[in-house]
Amino acid sequence: METVIDLDKVRKQYGTNVAVNDISMKVGKGEIFGIVGPNGAGKTTLIEIIEGLRYADSGTATILGKDIRKHAEEIKHRIGVLLQSTSIPGKAKVKEILSLYASFYNKTSTNTDVTRRLGLENKQNAYFKSLSGGWKQRVSLALALINDPAIVFLDEPSMGLDPNARNEMWKMIKQMRDEGRTIVVTTHYMEEAEVLCDRVAIINKGQLIALDTPKNLITLLGGTKRIGFKNVGQPNKEAIATLPFVTKVDWSPAYIELDTSNIDQTLKYVFQLAASENWDVTELKLHESTMNEVFSEMTSEGQGIA
């Protein structure tokens, strides 16, 4: 895969605070690449270095084959940015906003192409202040695409959107990836990172502590998984607690939940025990780890997965 973003030991320090601590990573062409981390982790500083908005103290950041420090102006014409919030005059019409932003670039998509792609054809004469949150976000995304960028940076793209608008935004992001663009997403929604991203970088205290696919991050985290089923009044509590791989039992008159380090093997032993004691496993629920749990465990402990 062709590398379009290449960071080598990038470092940025403010006084005694190291915001970005010798981060190295590569982003491939056509990826949806997620960057996540707690508030104050250094994500914004890192993204601003990649976008050419501030310089690193040391290390190199190569974007589309060019050093961002030496070619910042050229690179800015080849990237698009969707900010978390955009200050657009409320009395400006959509078509006026698009035309203004198009005038900033040497190369642009046509307004017709961008508006068609994002379903804005019927909003051209609408005032920005009259749009719903979802439509305002579409306009902001159109501005990020107006220069036909090779790389698009999206800062919290579904922040404040209702579920329907969020799903539409996700579809548009995947469509941009399918067009061959590289998408870099910063988000606090771990579901978004899990659903959207091909790979995710987790930043904590200025350091890159993990970088992999969401599936691999979840797998590498390991830990416990949970099995739940209805308490039909017949299971032997001691026998349940001593099943292989079971690490914890939460027992109530209505429901039994087991933490296990091997969900498949424990399920097998639960069904064997049920058969031997002549009771049925009903209302079975399985809970496996998610990116939320990966994020919480790794950023609270500050430990990485290499």
Domain CATH code at residue 100: 3.40.50.300
pLDDT for res 222: 63
Is the pLDDT at 86 greater than 50? The verdict is yes
- pLDDT at residue 262, as a whole number: 87
User: Range of 151's domain?
Assistant: 3-219
Percentage of the chain lying above the pLDDT 90 cut: 68
Number of Cβ within a 10 Å radius of residue 213: 13
Contact, 150 vs 79, CB < 8 A? yes
Three-class DSSP category at 147: coil
For 199-228, how does the pLDDT look when each residue is reduced to its tens digit (9 = 90+)?
999 999 999 999 999 988 887 766 568 899
CB neighbour class for 305 (10 Å; exposed up to 12, middle 13-18, buried from 19): middle
212 with 172, same domain: the answer is yes
Asked whether residue 143 is domain-assigned, the answer is: yes
Q: Model confidence over 26-79: pLDDT tens digits?
A: 999 999 999 999 988 999 999 999 999 999 999 999 999 999 999 999 999 999
303 is a domain residue: no
The answer to whether residues 68 and 85 belong to one domain is yes
> Which pLDDT does position 304 carry in this prediction?
45
Amino acid at 228: G
Total domains in the fold of the chain: 2
- Position 223 scores a pLDDT of 58
Sign of torsion, CA 76 82 84 85? positive
Q: What is the DSSP string of 265-301?
A: HHHHHHHHHHHHHT----S-EEE---HHHHHHHHHHH
